[in-house]
Amino acid sequence: MSDAFQSWGRFPRAARQAAHPIVWQTDRLPATSGTLLPYGQGRSYGDSCLNEGGTLLTTATLDRLLGFDAATGVVRCEAGVTLDTLLRLAVPRGWFLPVTPGTKFVSVGGAIANDVHGKNHHRAGTFGRYVRRFELLRSDGSRRVCSPEENPDWYEATVGGLGLTGLILWAEVQLRPIHNPFVLTETVPLENLDAFFAVSRESEPDHEFTVAWVDSLARGRKVGRGLFYRGNFAPPQFDGLPLAKSHLSHGSGLAVPFDMPGFSLNRLSVAAFNALYYRANVLKRGQRLQHYDPFFYPLDAVQGWNRIYGRDGFLQFQCVVPHATARAAIQEILERSAREVPSFLNVLKTFGGVPSPGWLSFPRPGVTLALDFANRGERTWRLVAELDRITREAGGAVYPAKDARMSAESFATYFPQLERFKAYVDPAFSSSFWRRVTVAPAVQPAALPLQEGAPLPAVPLRSSL
């Protein structure tokens, strides 16, 4: 039993959880009376990578590169290989990840299981679209190579399949070419939400990467005040830049004073940070050339930043709402959180219409918003439950990789292919998340719509205590 394998938000905590390292593709899955769940790098925030009372199949040692074709940009690797390792291999040879989340410290298996998205979703869609093939190992010992052509149903169930259809052993990913490791970026200040919509619309045709940071405490007409970042990979031989310096250290991106003694995330410090961040970055408006690292992975510069939230951890909430209802729903979510529990970091972006092969994929056309909340117990959970309700009523969806609180009712609404998916779940596999969102509403009070002020069902804050 180990306390070492937690999720990124460190909430909820799973205390009674065994870890079984998978070292070789030839390994057999352990026989156990409990349930199994693959575990990558634990960069999911809530409980989708946890298996309280069961066993985690850890893949950090399933990390071999199996081949790279520098002519076609196809890489084949074991599922535990991290995106960081792929970048180290590919960038010097002129290739980049087709889609990348905001951290490079995730495994390929985890990126497939959550069908992750990046700043180029409006153009490229999800990571799963670039996975050409993978091999799936089931608890009955069967192995299947899956691709859009071979075993396509298993392929579609497993992309975005939350680790429940079996263990991915290896995968083949199509990378995209780049000329150099630099991104030509531009920062545009945003007055409010309307400006966000206008700048998004105007930027998307010409910019591969778009994302906005918004001030989490702005209220009223200022809601949505923030900074819009857009960029493209730099053209060849841009201004004769010294490409040799391709591993520049992080000179920019977020400089959060994480190690300040007694630094606590209260309304005041969140306000101070947001104001500072705005002022520091608004000065950098206009175009500049940035190494890909601080552009795509600003938070990776500070190892273990999730620990600033202290023992109780934090919750992230990420939703997507369709364009038709986005304006009102995003406004309401931002205002509520500003009023009730200030979020530390708010990120806003539009998703495009490029479909994903995954049945349970989260991205869909609309606007996506991510918020970070320090876990302050019931107050935070009630807010997150409310945001879940707003999302549902707006016809949107909540991202399982970031979730610790969505209701079972919401989950079923968000993922209409759920019933079809269930037939592909490995009978020996399960997760804390899966049990939480698939129990019948009658036995899980959390699934009932919450009334204002109603006490939340008991979920132990720290089950280890």
Partner 1 sequence: MKKVLVLGATSAIAQSTVRLLAARGASLYLVGRNATNLDAVAKDAATRGAAKVEQQALDLNDTAAHEALVERATQALGGLDGALIAHGVLGDQKACERSWVDAEQVLRTNFLSAASLLTVLANRFEAQKAGTLVVISSVAGDRGRQSNYVYGASKGALNVFLQGLRNRLAPSGVAVVTVKPGFVDTPMTAHLPKNKLFASPDKVARGILRAADGRKNEVYVPGIWALIMLIIRSIPEGIFKRLKL
Residues 46-75 interacting with ligand FAD (rule: CB under 6 A): 48-49, 59
Amino acid at 365: P
Instruction: Provide, rounded to whole angstroms, the least separation between the CB of residue 63 and partner 1.
Output: 8
Instruction: Provide, rounded to whole angstroms, the least separation between the CB of residue 57 and partner 1.
Output: 13
What whole-number distance in Å separates Cα of residue 87 and Cα of residue 94?
10
72 touches which of ligand FAD, partner 1, none (CB within 5 to 8 A by kind)? Answer: none
Comparing CB distances to ligand FAD, the nearer of 58 and 187 is: 58
Measured in whole angstroms, how far is the alpha carbon of residue 273 from the centre of its chain?
23
64 touches which of partner 1, ligand FAD, none (CB within 5 to 8 A by kind)? Answer: partner 1
Instruction: Provide, rounded to whole angstroms, the least separation between the CB of residue 166 and ligand FAD.
Output: 7
Instruction: Provide, rounded to whole angstroms, the least separation between the CB of residue 170 and partner 1.
Output: 9
Q: What angle do CA 80, 112, 181 make, to 5 degrees?
A: 75
Instruction: Provide, rounded to whole angstroms, the least separation between the CB of residue 67 and partner 1.
Output: 6
Instruction: Provide, rounded to whole angstroms, the least separation between the CB of residue 23 and partner 1.
Output: 5
21 touches which of partner 1, ligand FAD, none (CB within 5 to 8 A by kind)? Answer: partner 1
Q: Which of 14, 36, 116, 334 binds ligand FAD (CB under 6 A)?
A: 116
Stretch that binds ligand FAD, among 10-18, 43-51, 275-283, 385-393 (CB under 6 A): 43-51
Residues that bind partner 1 (CB under 8 A): 21, 23-26, 61, 64-68, 78, 89
Q: Does 313 bind ligand FAD (CB under 6 A)?
A: no
401 touches which of partner 1, ligand FAD, none (CB within 5 to 8 A by kind)? Answer: ligand FAD
Per-residue interface string for the shown chain with ligand FAD, residues 122-161, x marking contact by CB under 6 A: ----------------------------------------
Residue 177, CB half-sphere, CA atoms under 13 Å: how many? 7
Q: Which of 12, 73, 101, 128 binds ligand FAD (CB under 6 A)?
A: 101
Please identify the residue of the shown chain whose CB is closest to the bound ligand FAD.
Answer: 163
What whole-number distance in Å separates Cα of residue 159 and Cα of residue 227?
32
Comparing CB distances to partner 1, the nearer of 88 and 307 is: 88
Instruction: Provide, rounded to whole angstroms, the least separation between the CB of residue 291 and ligand FAD.
Output: 18
Instruction: Provide, rounded to whole angstroms, the least separation between the CB of residue 35 and partner 1.
Output: 21
Comparing CB distances to partner 1, the nearer of 1 and 465 is: 1
Instruction: Provide, rounded to whole angstroms, the least separation between the CB of residue 253 and ligand FAD.
Output: 12
User: Which is it for strands 314-321 and 346-351: parallel, antiparallel or unpaired?
Assistant: unpaired
Comparing CB distances to partner 1, the nearer of 68 and 238 is: 68
Comparing CB distances to partner 1, the nearer of 173 and 227 is: 173
Q: Which of 6, 8, 75, 387 binds ligand FAD (CB under 6 A)?
A: 8
Q: Does 344 bind ligand FAD (CB under 6 A)?
A: no
The 3-class SS string of the chain reads CCCCCCCCCCCCCCCCCEEEECCCCCCCCCCCCCCEEEECCCCCCCCCCCCCCCEEEECCCCCCEEEEECCCCEEEEECCCEHHHHHHHHHHHCEECCCCCCCCCCEHHHHHHCCCCCCCHHHHCCHHHHEEEEEEECCCCCEEEECCCCCHHHHHHHCCCCCCCCEEEEEEEECEECCCCEEEEEEEEECCHHHHHHHHHHHCCCCCEEEEEECCCCCHHHCCCEEEEEEEECCCCHHHCCHHHCCCCCCCCCCCCCCCCCCCCCHHHHHHHHHHHHHHHHCCCEEEEEEHHHHHCHHHHCCCHHHHHCCCCEEEEEEEECHHHHHHHHHHHHHHHHHHCCCCCEEEEEECCCCCCCCCCCCCCEEEEEEEEECCCHHHHHHHHHHHHHHHHCCCEECHHHCCCCCHHHHHHHCCCHHHHHCCCCCCECCHHHHHHHCCCCCCHHHCCCCCCCCCCCCCCCCCC
Q: Does 86 bind ligand FAD (CB under 6 A)?
A: no
Stretch that binds ligand FAD, among 44-52, 141-149, 182-190, 419-427 (CB under 6 A): 44-52
Comparing CB distances to partner 1, the nearer of 27 and 312 is: 27
Q: Does 42 bind ligand FAD (CB under 6 A)?
A: yes
Q: Does 167 bind ligand FAD (CB under 6 A)?
A: yes
